[in-house]
Amino acid sequence: MERRTFLKNTGLLTGGILLNHNLSAMEPVNDPVKIAVIGCGDRGTGIMNILNSMPDKYRITALCDVLDFRLTAAQKLTKTDAVKTYTDYRKLIDDKQVEAIIVAVPLYLHYQVAADVIRSGKHLYLEKTMTYNIEQALELVNLMHGRTGQILQVGHQYRYSPLYYRVKEMINKGYLGKVTQVDCRWDRNGNWRRPVPDPSLERAINWRMYKEYSGGLMAELLSHQIDFINWVFDTHPQEFFATGGIDVFKDGRETYDNVQLMLRYPDLSLIGNFGAMCGNAHDGYLFKIKGTLGTVSLLTDQGMFYPEKKLLTEKGTVDGVTGATRIVWNRDGGTPILPEATKDGTWYAFNDFYQKIQHKELPDSNVFTGARTAISVHLGNQALYSQKICNWDNSYKIG
């Protein structure tokens, strides 16, 4: 079918998912949220660049990092000289002007910093993966109990992308039929290292390489795709199988540079394959969700729908997009899910964070969903490094 016909028949041009991610002209005007950043590395400064594009919603008022050169570099990204700087995050938390805090520190520090922010009563945007281990995830759930006016959003930003929202809707409405297979990769060709100005800072800067501080490729990359499957099907994996190794960069790192994880969701009769490596970037980001009626293939900002041939033979249309005319194929046989690429998912996430602060509503990526994904990542790593099959413990109380 023509691209516009597909969009019309699937509701995208009629007040559907796209409009839900843009401010309506009827919404009240509010002052920008005074926000601070704890952790000014690559992710922290990347978020700052996003916030700078949203001056009507956010004003960065404070920064914190234990490394002076990162703090200095982050200062240069701010719009005013009035931004306060700290090397002790607890002093930043005590700053009365700060209303919301972004925590983008190394994974092993997430829990302690987040717990202190929660106790302060300030709103919190906590980068993924939510916590380093299972116990910490369950404790953050307990800490947030009863704090209905305080917003905690976890940085799984694809939950806010119009593209991924649309795919969730397609799956829930049965466009793909019975989904039984998910294939995911997030590959790169490089050692993942950051330059170290002083050897004593090796572990502080390259913390992702060391098990004491990091969940490795599982936590840093594959957690996004694991989280999306949890969200779409409102579930979590029960069985965890994994293998991997330090196969490319024999440089003293501890976390694997080549991992493969297989997850079993018995309640859905679904298997998910999740892989990441540092030695080949051909596939890059790959995300395929396969059902009896069709397949969705996703990048971070674009997606295609491929109906099964038997469906076309039977009906000549895309079942679930009923009323559509006969398909006009593009070169690889699929139909675009959206008419154009979406923005960086972080933009949508912070647009939503602002709205949730204003209206005191639970974000789509919250402490409960964040805990579910953090536990999934931890069990995946447990299977990876122990070389044993691990299982979800149904005693975990997430809520």
326-379 pLDDT, tens digit per residue, is: 444 344 678 999 999 999 999 999 999 999 999 999 999 999 999 999 999 999
Sorted by where each starts, the structural domains of the chain and their CATH numbers stand as 23-156+355-364 (3.40.50.720), 159-342+374-391 (3.30.360.10)
User: 310: pLDDT confidence band, cut at 50, 70 and 90?
Assistant: confident
d(CA 355, CA 318): 36
List, edge to edge, every strand of the sheet that includes 303-307: 335-336, 303-307, 294-298, 285-291, 179-186, 270-277, 258-265, 239-245, 390-391
Per the CB < 8 A criterion, the answer to whether 45 and 20 are in contact is no
pLDDT for position 24: 38
pLDDT for position 80: 80
Chain centre to alpha carbon of residue 243: 23
pLDDT tens-place string over residues 66-93:
999 999 999 999 978 889 999 999 999 9
How many CB atoms are closer than 10 A to CB 76? Answer: 7
Residues in the chain: 399
Query: Taking the alpha carbons of 224, 229, 230, 236 in that order, is the dihedral positive or negative?
Result: negative
d(CA 260, CA 385): 12
Bridge partners of residue 296, in order along the sequence: 289, 305
Reply yes or no on whether the pLDDT at 323 is more than 90: no
Average pLDDT over residues 137-154: 97
Average pLDDT, the chain: 90
pLDDT for position 256: 98
pLDDT for position 334: 87
Cα diameter, the chain: 66
d(CA 110, CA 113): 6
Per the CB < 8 A criterion, the answer to whether 320 and 293 are in contact is yes
pLDDT for position 18: 38
Reply yes or no on whether the pLDDT at 14 is more than 80: no
d(CA 126, CA 118): 11
